[in-house]
Amino acid sequence: MNPPSLFPPLAPYEHGMLAVDALHTLYWEQCGNPDGLPVLFLHGGPGAGLSPTHRQFFDPVHYRVVLFDQRGAGKSTPLGEVRHNTTPLLIDDIEQLRRLLGIEQWLVFGGSWGSTLALAYGEAHPERCLGFVLRGIFLCTPGEVDWFVNGIANFFPEIHAEFAAAIPEVERGDLLQAYCRRLFCDDPAVTTAAAKSWSRYEGSCLYLRPQPEAVAAFESDAVSLGLGRLEAHYMRNQGFVPDDQLIRNIARIRHLPAVIVQGRYDVICPPTSAWRLHQAWPQARLQIIDDAGHAALEPGTAQALVAATEQFRLRRRFD
């Protein structure tokens, strides 16, 4: 069930496919008011893809909502493809889409990996951004990657044990590389099994309270291949964002308004990353949700995200 703070379900008024190179074609859609304030929604993962619920964070009377499946995710093709799939290329894709739709500037909204991409895009093209709504901050540092692969065991030991059990004991000293060997091998059955194990692990840790339907959704064929392969691909390459780049380049967007929404008990992207970002960017408003984990649809988090989009469209600034 969706939190009551969300806007009602919404169908796109336009959608299409954008070939961004010889290999990748991206699904995109627009919802809401064609003459409204443009906002770009960036999904997480990488590889998680879009959900119809993602349209519901924005007042459709006032917002022109642009959403797309990133390379290798959702309805974009090929699903789970890691070749020609890097953060700089995703940034170029966003610019291709912006030009296609004739948008000069937009609000950028992203959670989890979407926050990573939002920051990277904003720092590359600050002149195209009106501001940011960010959730569940992930800065792509080695420590954050290690936490996801190993540190979650401190809070979900039984779920992490299941994640590790899919790998022979002799290889468990480096679970990321062990999973990569399976996710990127030539045997589709091995790849599928590894992707489902990876996705089940993440889906089991999303919420403050267990949500079996979230685990089932993450294990589905439509989600698991993109999520498992792309997350492992980006994590082993440190998100193609080296040397704490997102913090070091924050001056490029410091003048822009921003809200950071962070679950207090987010085990996938712990609050320390949101705190680091806020320390580097004190002009951004940090809102800690005391009864939430990682998921955007937890009631307090969803309410804060909708409040942020409402504040932006009403005032075009953040207090």
For 64, residues 6+ apart whose C-beta sits below 8 A from its C-beta are: 30, 32, 33, 34, 35, 36, 37, 38, 39, 103
pTM over 0.75? The answer is yes
Closest CA to 306 of 256, 264, 261: 261
At residue 319, the pLDDT reads 39
Contact 7, 58 (CB under 8 A): yes
Ordered mean pLDDT values, 10 residues apiece, the chain (319 residues): 84 98 98 97 97 97 97 97 98 98 98 98 98 97 97 98 97 98 97 97 94 88 94 97 94 98 98 98 98 97 97 69
At residue 20, the pLDDT reads 98
Q: What positions carry a catalytic annotation?
A: 112, 266, 294
**CA–CA distance, 96 with 100 (Å, rounded to integer):** 6
Domains recognised in the chain with CATH numbers: 14-140+240-315 (3.40.50.1820), 143-239 (no CATH)
At residue 318, the pLDDT reads 42
